Each structure stands twice: as structure tokens, then as C-alpha cells.
Structure 1
């Protein structure tokens, strides 16, 4: 029994072992298959990852190569452009050969039927003679009908052909007439170019630049042009590419660890150098295109101002910022081999042009002559941008550099040689001019102030120092604003000339240039009707040494006086030339320089005090509206000073028997006010002052204080700044 049980247990145990071995084998096989699958999957993933990585790396290399190609194209712009064919007038000539007349299917006649074709259709019939004859008649009838239809179709074809030919002949005549007009216009244009016609030069050279094949499509080509026939000079404004044209990225590399492209930035110094080189190339290429197109000998020099449209970093306003400029004479340019030059060196050293040191920061340079500054009938033509409008430019809104160029153009229009100076290191000189006139001519240094408020006397003093330092014959200060009495006083007797805004506008218009002061006659501190220079000739001035015996009569009757105003007429004895002036003061301080009425400021801003023509026996006169004086004004001071131009060595010893006549609006004498006589050695004198009393009335107080330093010393005491 026990052996039998032992045998059953052994069989059972063996079966268990077999089952376990089978399970183990199956498990190991499954594990093997799983490992094989995982290896295959891992290999596939590695292959996919390798392919993906290769793709990303290839894409990064492609982008890097594209960046390098862009930079290479920018670096080779000038050399590539020089290989482009030069613009020629012949390229504009239209061929008179027209497309020949081609009537198409109308050229082919309609095929006419033949009788035998219809007879052949009946040749196989084996009928009797009667039936044959009938068949022949039917064949002939069919032929006749077919011939008539074909003949009608042919007549219609001929009609359509004739109409089409007539239409073609009209079209050809119009085309040929247009071509001949166009080619005739080109002949006239060529003749006008040879004759130096400004309009023809502007049209031709602008078209040459705009149609040039030397410029890549992605670069701007906005151009404004004007032509000076006297100088045979073409003046251009050419739009430059922006800083973004130079790629900021130098290279691209794929980083597998982060699965991202890593861009390597181009060093700032390298990018800036590339941009400056690109700007220089653009200007040189413009010069090349223009001179290459000049087959008529119209040009002796070309001015190119390269600009970008952007916000001025100084003002924040939209402006054309000139980043490079050059004036290139033909004699200097013709000897250049542009394919071999270093663009920056050629522009700045070879042609003595200007190129911004930091164009990436929009640091502008002083522009050369601008198209809008060229006078004459040639006008300004613009392509790719806006042409100059009819409205005159507002001098207050004008870019300071453009304003300096306009002033230089004014001096050139007046017959002088004039150039603008470098923006930095100019030694206080904005424009240098040379007057070729004998005796009175010579070297002139010019300072330009685009101000809205009165120019301080310190500017006049600085100009005088510059004149002495530069050894110039004269100094000229030009402004859009005005000058105060201190400035005119300092300028007296010195080689200085002051040109306020009103006189500047008058000069611009006189010499064919454009400019206005804001929107009206009186804008931001520019007094209306202000005198233009010391010789403006106001009425409160007597410069006739013999005025005590021969009164100076006005050229025209004086204007009427308003009913609420008075006239202060001043007279004296003695052969002395005087300036009589008035100061509106608070205490012993003038309210402002504009409240000092003198020969170059004939009235206060509110018009309450003004100079007026005098009548005998007076030698000077001032009109006053006492009730119209500013509320804080409590004094109206009248002063007299020797005119240093009329009699620089005189003093007030000859100023005697002086009086002020107080007149009403009708000219009736209300009172006579005595004033002190002058004294030897003194050159300026306070005649007296009207003082406001608490009740609002005005009381006259005699003066008498004299000054040996002339009007300059007197003004300092009343708070007027004198340089």
C-alpha cells in the first residue's frame, strides 16, 4: 500500500516538475521576446532620434548658412552693384516695330465646293437614264446650295478680316504715335540735359536710381532729388536700410539635450561695423549709379544724404535722420575703383564724407545740401516716398541740422561760398561763409539758433569771441526768434550782425527759398513788426547831428492815435545824435527784455508802449496806453543814450533844454515835463519816469542819473542782461 502511494506521489511530483519546467521555459521565452522587442524598439527610437537630430542639425546649419549668405550679400553690395549695367537713355527708347497683324483663322479662305465631288456621289448608280438625269440634277442642286453657303461664309470672313485689319491699323497708328512721342520726348530730354535744365536732370537721374538693377529688392529705394544748374550739382536724399538689415544672430546650433535651437548673437561691435560698412556702400553705389548714368555731361558734383525714417532720439518725433552725407566731385570720384575699395575709408577719407559713428543708435550727422534747399525751377522729385508739398516748412519744427543747411543755402543764394561745419568740434561755428566782394567781403562765421524765445546776450558775446578767435571779418547770428536790447547794445560798433526770425523769413523769400515762422505772424516769442537790424529806423530815435536846426520830418503822416492813448514827444537842443528808449518796469527792474522799447523792438508784446513817427518840434516820440500797461508794472522809464554809430566820440554835454511834451490822442498838448541836461563824459541818461500811484493815476518824476558806459551800463541797472 505504501509503495503504491509512493509511486503515485512520484508521478505527481514529476508532473509538477515538468509543468514548472514548461512554465519556466515559456517565461524565459517570453522574456527573450520582450527583450528582443525592447531592443528593436530602442533601436528604432535611436534611429528616429538620430534622424530627428540630423534633421534639426541640418536645419540649424541651413539657417546659419542663410545668415552667412545674407551678411556676404550685404558686404558685397557695392562690388555686385558695380557689375550691373549702367542706366542709359537708350534703355528707355521704345522699338517702333510692332506686333505684326495676325488675323488667325480669318486668314484662311473658306474652302469652295467642287461640282465633281457631288457628281462622284452618283457615279455608282445603275439606274435608268431618267433616274440618272434626276440624280445629276439633285447633285447639281446640292452643289449649288453648298457653293452659295460657302460663298456667303467667305464674304463674311472677308468682312471680318477687313474690320479686324482696320482695327489693327488704328491700334498700330496709336501705338506708333505714342512710341514716337515717347522717343521724341527722350530726345528733348537729352537736349535739355545737355543744356543743364534742372527739371530734366531731376527727372532723368531720379528715374535712373529708381529703375536701377543694382539694388536688391529687399533694400529701400526712396529718393528725392534736385539739381543746381549753376553748380552742375545733383542733390539727393536716399533712404538707407535700417539697422535690422544686419542679422542680429551670427549662427544657430541645435542642442539635443534641450531639444532647442541655440542662437549665437553677433557681437555688437561686429554688427555695428557691418552696418556702417553697408551704409557707406549704399552711398557709394548711389554715386556710381548716378555718374554712370550721366552720358550727357550734366554733372560736376553730386551730394548724397543717406537717411532713415525713425523717431529722433533727441525729440522723440518722427524725422528723417541723416546718418551719412558726402559731396563728391566728378574729378575725385572718377579715379576710384569701387570694386576694390574699403567702403568706409573711401567715403570718409577718400571723398571726405561724413558717416555716423553710431548709426545703430541713430546718431545723426550734419547733412549736406538738401534737395529742398536748392532754389530754382527744378523742384524736388521723390520716388518711393512723398514729394515736397506746397506748404512752406515751419522753421520752428525744422530739424536743427536741416535749419543750418538752409541758412548755408541762403548765403550761397546771396552770392557767397558757404558750407556747414562738422557737428562736433566746430568751435562755435555752424556755417562758414566767404564773401568775395572786395573791401566789405571776407570770411564770415555764422552761428544758427533755432529758438522760440529771445536769444540771450551771452550768445552774442560768444559769437564775438569766436570771430576774434577765428580771425574772421564778421560774425552773423541767425535765429528763428528775436534779440533783446542787451544783444543789440553789445553788437553796436562790433563786426557783428544779428538776423532775427522775421528778417530771416524775408531773406529766404527774397532769394527763392522757403520757410515760415509757425502758423502766424507772431509765434512763440517773435514780436510782430520787429525791426530787422539796427537800421530798422524806428521813430524814437534821432541820429541827425543837426536836428536842432533842421527838424527830421517823417516820410508819411504818422498813424492816428487811439482815444485812450497819449503821445510823449521829446525834444532837446544841441548837435547830438540820441536813441530815446522806454522801459516798462516793476520797481527798478524791467518786466522782460521784450518790455524794453528801442530801435530794434518798436513795441511791447501787448502793444501798450510803442515807438511812433515824430512831428516837429519833437525829435522822438513814444505812444503810451497807461491803462493798458501790465497790472504789475508800476513805472515807465524814459532814457536817452548816445548813438555810437552816428557819433561814437560824443557825450551828453550837448544835450540841453530837453523837455517831454505830453500830448492827447488828437495831438493837443496837455503838459510839458522838464528833464535834466546831460553832462560831459556821460553817454546815457535817465530822463524821468512815470510812476503809478495807489489811486491808479500816473505821476512823472524827473530823472537825471547819468552813465559813462552808455546804454549798456544803464540797462544793467534795470536788470537787462548785456553780454
Structure 2
């Protein structure tokens, strides 16, 4: 069971972080004002060409400074002030702090976690923009602190090595940093982060509460087998106090120290999110797990509309663009105006923000396209807290439009140092299947799909009346992971299945009499493939405990076909559901199949 830290250390830690955020914001403002002043002076004193050349040099220097900071992360972090209770601000206003510190001395798990969460959360050792999220618990018998710590994503390493100004073309040219160099530096950064966390924990342990620390480092990513948001663990270590105190961290090679001296592990390809098996996890200890660092996450569903538009504008600013929100009246259908200064692919961008809980209708995407044309913009972006149906994606294909779903928005916010969540679940497509109901053992079924061959397929479902879909929202696929009522959902597959859906037949809409299952070739993964390699296909019918209830055979694929109706569950007059094998194939892919069922595809 997880809970947020609300004790006196948590209150003090939040005060410290609020103050730190204010100082960081003021520092950013001062740096911005200084940059603008220097830019004005350069423009006034130098020719256009000299200014551009100087700006290219400045941008290269910023890249070099960023790389130098990353390489020196551990050494500079060790020079930062160590967490001490005596350094607490306004301690006289928090008299219960003494009780927490006494609890640490008595090895009380809640007090220990409260104390060390504050030590990590208020640390000044981390560069601006680095994530700071932890899930932690304490094993008093082993005197071991067990935690999961969020690591920076791969884009923390600059993609470019240096910038040059090309006078003849009047544009900047960025020379990419070699892939091998980016990979090596990112791996080094991960190792430094792990060592720095260990340093801060052991340094803050004045009472000797820690004999060891079990630490797992992760990033938010997507499971490569399912495409669903998931934590990807990239580092793990179990460090004994006696071994760690012998290290001279400012002089070590971080990777060698972690792997050889501490017997830890770092992913061989962290830039490609190649996961490792984590060590001991907080939920395995048996005590309550406390999370810290997410208390400032606003619920995007509940935000004030103007504040939400401001957050989207701030995201575009963090991505290197200039962005402003529009006035509420006469905005011409535009919520945010953005300007991408990147040569060739940059330009004016109009942004519409839709804070929806249900799927955005295709009409909204068409309206955005009209706005782009009327404004003469280079691109239109539609940002939502929900998702888009197949009609929207098909209409946007090939047009200067970009659709950002709720899950992608949350990932982008976190990737650029901002915060936001979608209700209690965090992401709209991370909803688990309904919990088993002991009194109703057949509350829902899992439909596991397997086949022979290496062709990559999208397995989807349509809730229909006859051969017509109820609404576009009743087409369940990777970009619309559930029906509005949640009766049908996508689900991560478990071996031997390659795809899975969850269906609660008893709660399907009253006017629905068919649940149609279809499969289509993924054109991005296998652009030249057809369904001739789709053989030995079957559907496993499972109960909530993953007990197999039976298997349903479906038709094999045929050459030149790229989409196929696998079969349909049909409601009989008695209320029972029977499965009818499909077999109809389509050479025009999923788009042609959807039109056959009345899905709006333009």
C-alpha cells in the first residue's frame, strides 16, 4: 500500500522545495534577462553575420557546459551540503521533528522513511531539471533501506556536439554527437546518479540506522513488447555501509565503481531502454511503501482551464520554442501560439487544448486543420487529456497536424521537468482490468491472442450492433485503450499470448449484440508485410485468475491481405454469447476494414 509523506519532515521538505523552485525560477528569469540584454548589445554593436557566428559559438559553449556538468555530476554532488536535522529552517515551529528523529534512533520504519525521504527530496546536489521521485520502505531487522529512484531520461545528454552558422544559407547547422559517445555518457550519468543517491543516504545517517541500501533506478518509458507505459529499470545495487564508506567517490570511475566495487549493474544499452532485473523492491519488504516527489503533480483533469493552457505553453517553452496563450475572446480557435525557431522544419504553430475525458471527435481535428490554413501556420497541434479515434488519426495522416494524447502529454511534461497526472491512474491507457469479484467469478474474461510467424499485428475490438459499430469510441485499439464504459479494454499480454483484450460481457451496452475481434498488419513495423505469415492463430479464453477456460480457433491469413476479421462474440436471445469464426480479409488494411463497420475514416 502506498501513501504520500505528510509528516513534519514532509512538510518541511515541501517548504524547502517550494523555496528552491522559487529560487530556480528567479535564476531562470535573471539568466533570460541577461541573455536578452547581451543579445541586444551584440545586435547593436555587431553586424548580422558576426552576431550569428557569435550565437553559434555561444550555443556550442552551452552544449560543452552541459556535457561537463554531466561528467562532473558525482564529484560536484559530493561537494554539496549534507542533510542534517540541525540545518532545518524554523525548527521551533515544528516541535514534532524531535519525535521523528527519536523514531529513527529506535529504527521505526515510518520515521526512518520520513527522514531519508526528506534527505533526498531537499538535496541541493542535483542539477535543475533532474527528476526527483522515490518509493521507499525500511526493513528494521536487516536495517536496510529499500527504494526505487527515478533516473533522468536519455535526452539529458545533448544530441548535438556543436553548432555552426552557415552564412550562404543563413542558417545554423548542428553537428550531431556520435551515437556511441551519447550512449557512453548516458550510461556514465546513470552510474553517477546511483552512487550520488547512496552517498546522500549514508551521509545523512547520523544514528546508524542503515547497514545497507537496496536501490533500483528506473525511467518512465514504454514496454517494447506491448507499447504500454511502464517503468524501465536501468540500474540496481545493494550497497553495504562498510563497503561504501571505503570509497573515494570524487576520484572513482562511476561505472567501474558501481559494477566492480559494489557488485551493482547498469543496463548495457540504457539509451535503448534495455531493461535489467531489479533487485529487492520496496513492496517486497512487508512494510508500507512511501512515495515522495509526486505531491506537486497537478491533476490535469481538475486544473483551471486557463492554468492548463498555461502549462501547455510552458511545455512548448521547455521544448525550445516561444509560446504564448491567447486571450479568451476572438482567439480564432487557437489556445496557444508557438514559434519553433529551428531552421527548415520550424515556423509558426497553432495549438488547441482539449481537456476531455472521452475520445476527441474527428470534427475537432478537421476544425484544427481549417484553423492552420486560415492562420497560414506551418503546423497545428491538438493536445488533449484523453485520446483520438481511428478517424482522427487517418484524417491527420499526411497533413501538418500532430495529435498529442493524454498519455503522451504526461510523458512530455515529465521529460521536460514539468509535472502533471491524469486522475489517480496517472495515464489514461494504464487502467488495469476490473478486480476479480468473488461473488461473481465470471465478472470478466481475458481474450489472449497467439499466432505463428513473426509479422507484427495490432489486435483490436469493435463493439457493434449487427455489422455497424456503436460509435467511434467503441473501437478499442492502442490509441483508444477502452470503451467509454470500460467494458472492453486493451491489456498487456502474458506468454504464450502476443496480444490480449479484457471484456466484461455482462456490462456491454444493452444495444450491442456483437464484439468483433480484428487483426491488422502494423505498417510502421512491417510496411511490406501481409497476412500470409499469420498462421496457427487462436484465442485463449481466460478467467480473472488467468485460468484457461477454452481455446477458439480462427482463420489463417492470406497473401496480399493486411487486415482480417478474426471472429465475433454474438449475443443470443437467451443472453448467452457464442463465438462465430470470421475470415473476411482486406487488402486495404485496417482503414478498409473499419469503413465496412461504419467507422468514420476520412
TM-score (norm 2): 0.45
Higher normalized helix content (fraction of residues): 1
Higher normalized strand content (fraction of residues): 2
The structure with the largest alpha-carbon Rg is 1
TM-score (norm 1): 0.38
